[in-house]
């Protein structure tokens, strides 16, 4: 790396943003697998009622809350994925730094709130 600190630090170049790019793809794969798994479980469960539906999320394996952990993994992946994607939108269309920063902070808070809300829902059942 060249200049990494101060006002003249290098902010462009090869590999800049690579971590986010890779993370967005990994989280996408996690969400796809979770979605397909959940969809197949719903599809092959006849006459779904409340008890069967909750069972997809609060089942345990050797008293480990696997259903909740998988759902949490999917929702955390979703939030990181969406943070990168929405940040890309702001970077493409919003040029003034102040407005862009405000929107990015709002995005992060929006998603942190969503993740907390989802965890709260999951651990209530």
Measured between alpha carbons, how far is residue 82 from residues 10, 15, 51, 79, 88 in Å?
A: 26, 21, 31, 5, 10
Least Cβ distance, residue 79 to other proteins (angstroms): 9
Cβ nearer to other proteins, comparing 8 with 124: 124
Least Cβ distance, residue 101 to other proteins (angstroms): 18
Least Cβ distance, residue 4 to other proteins (angstroms): 28
The residues of the shown chain that bind other proteins, judged by CB under 8 A, are 25, 28-29, 32, 35, 50, 53-54, 57, 78, 82, 85-86, 89, 107, 110-111, 113-114, 117-118, 121-122, 124-125
Least Cβ distance, residue 98 to other proteins (angstroms): 21
Residue pair 107/87 in contact by the 8 Å Cβ criterion:
yes
In the block, residue with structure tokens 């993370």: 23
Other CB atoms within 10 A of residue 105 CB: 10
What is the rounded distance in angstroms from the CA atom of residue 68 to the CA atom of residue 43?
20
3-state secondary structure 63-84: CECHHHHHHHHHHHHHHHHHHH
Cβ nearer to other proteins, comparing 70 with 78: 78
Cβ nearer to other proteins, comparing 101 with 109: 109
Cβ nearer to other proteins, comparing 82 with 94: 82
């Amino acid at each position: 790396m060249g200049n990494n600190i101060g006002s003249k630090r290098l902010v462009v170049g090869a590999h800049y943003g690579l971590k986010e790019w890779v993370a967005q793809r990994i989280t996408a794969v996690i969400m796809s697998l979770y979605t397909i798994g959940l969809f197949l479980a719903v599809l092959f469960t006849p006459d779904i009622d409340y008890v069967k539906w909750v069972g997809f999320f609060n089942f345990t394996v050797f008293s480990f809350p696997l259903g909740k952990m998988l759902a949490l993994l999917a929702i955390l992946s979703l939030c990181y994925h969406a943070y990168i994607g929405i940040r890309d939108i702001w970077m493409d269309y919003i040029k003034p730094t102040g407005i862009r920063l405000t929107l990015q902070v709002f995005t992060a808070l929006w998603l942190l709130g969503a993740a907390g809300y989802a965890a709260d829902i999951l651990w209530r059942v």
